[in-house]
A = this chain, B = another copy of it.
Amino acid sequence: MNSRPKYKTKQKEILLEYFETVPGQHITASDVCEYFKSHGSPIGQSTIYRHLESLVNEGILNKYVFDPNTPACFEYMGSESHKECDSCFHCKCEKCGKLIHLHCDELEEIQAHLYKEHRFKLDPLRTVFYGVCEDCMKSE
């Protein structure tokens, strides 16, 4: 729905290359900024934000927001559609803030159930399960 890129630029190219090296990881805008700064090819932060937005619109990245005043996280979903994470939970620990990927078929059942019984089409990509992770349970 927003500006579709018409030119192929160096910045966009290396940005995508970077994300391809960190599949399944959660990256913030400032992570990206730092990365390119420390690699000798800095990219302006507004450029980064603008690319992140358009990549999200294209479905190449996924965006997660956990709190205001906390940077949003972006995850590379592959340029093909999001097959890999169709069966992937995202769990966020309320104690330590850790983000966990769980690959599990159970999610599909939940999805099917919500759809059949409650007429609600779950979006697994945006849904985050909050709770307490194993490590933090131990130290409680």
Contacts and interface: CB of A to CB of B under 8 A. Distances in A.
Given A68-B70, A127-B129, A134 B120 contact: yes
A66 interface: yes
Interface in A63-96: 65-72, 89, 91, 94
Main secondary structure of the interface of A (DSSP, over half): mixed
A17 interface: no
Contacts of A134: 119-120
Contacts of A89: 114, 118
A121 interface: yes
Interface string A88-110: 01010010000010101010001
Given A67-B65, A71-B68, A133 B104 contact: no
A65 B69 CA distance: 11
> Which of A70, A120, A122, A123: most chain B CB closer than 10 A?
A120
A55 to B, nearest CB: 16
A49 B67 CA distance: 14
B68 A126 contact: no
A118 B94 contact: no
Interface in A120-140: 120-123, 126-134, 137
B126 A127 contact: no
Contacts of A122: 129-131
